[in-house]
Amino acid sequence: MSRLSPPSRTTAVRPTPGGSVSAGPRRFLIRGQLRRPLTLTVGDLRERWPQRRAEVVFDCATNGPQHHTFEGPLLRDVLDEAGPAFDARRRKDRSRYLLAVTGGDGHHTVLSWAEIDPDFGDAPILLATAMDGRRLDEAGSQLVVPSDRCGARYISAITGIWVGVCDPPELS
């Protein structure tokens, strides 16, 4: 910048090749059959919910066993704030809900609500804010499924989580 330039009044926003401006921290969406849909950054995940730590090992079909330490809130705590549109007192209602988690490259996977519900699987699944001590603010959050033997559901660079019920399939 030339020394004759006036001092900037706002935080610099770098233009991107597409002509739009840099969007700042990566955001991901929590959408679906919810009372309070959320749009969150990794910073929000770190500041708004208690952080857990998980030391995990998962197997990858192409790279073999992977060891990582993740930190982040419980997926269940974050989704509680989004308020799934079920009757929370009814276990059967809760047992019909699904979660679809999508990564930045389009890889996506499903979980059932029952996996994270304390009355069913009670799995301590996290939305990671850090991996091996490195913050994920730029890369995006990663799903951490400590009870999975294989790594395929450790979705990275999460862009969205959909929560809802699928109609019963037509079988005839």
Ligand X SMILES: Nc1nc2c(c(=O)[nH]1)N[C@H]1C(S)=C(S)[C@@H](COP(=O)(O)O)O[C@H]1N2
Q: Which residues bind Mo ion (CB under 5 A)?
A: 60, 151
Closer to Mo ion by CB, 88 or 110: give it: 110
CB of 68 to ligand X, least distance (A): 9
Exactly one of 105, 110, 147, 166 binds ligand X (CB under 6 A); that residue is 105
C-beta closer to Mo ion: residue 119 or 132: 132
70 binds, options Mo ion, ligand X, none, Cβ within 5 to 8 A by partner type: none
**Distance between CA 172 and CA 150 in Å, rounded?**
34
Q: How far is the CB of 105 from ligand X (least distance, A)?
A: 5
DSSP state of 36: S
Helix residue ranges per DSSP H, the chain:
42-48, 75-82, 91-94, 113-116
26 neighbors 33 (Cβ within 8 angstroms)? no
Query: Cα–Cα distance between 25 and 142 in angstroms, integer?
Result: 15
Is residue 34 within 8 A of residue 163, CB to CB? The reply is yes
Q: Could you tell me how far CA 161 lies from the centroid of its own chain?
A: 7
Beta bridge partners of 42: none
Binding test (CB under 6 A) with ligand X, winner from 16, 39, 65, 66:
66
Answer yes or no whether residue 131 interacts with ligand X by CB under 6 A: no
Q: Which is nearer to ligand X, 33 or 41 (CB)?
A: 41
Give the residues lining the site for ligand X (CB under 6 A): 60, 63, 66, 103-105, 107, 151-152, 154-157
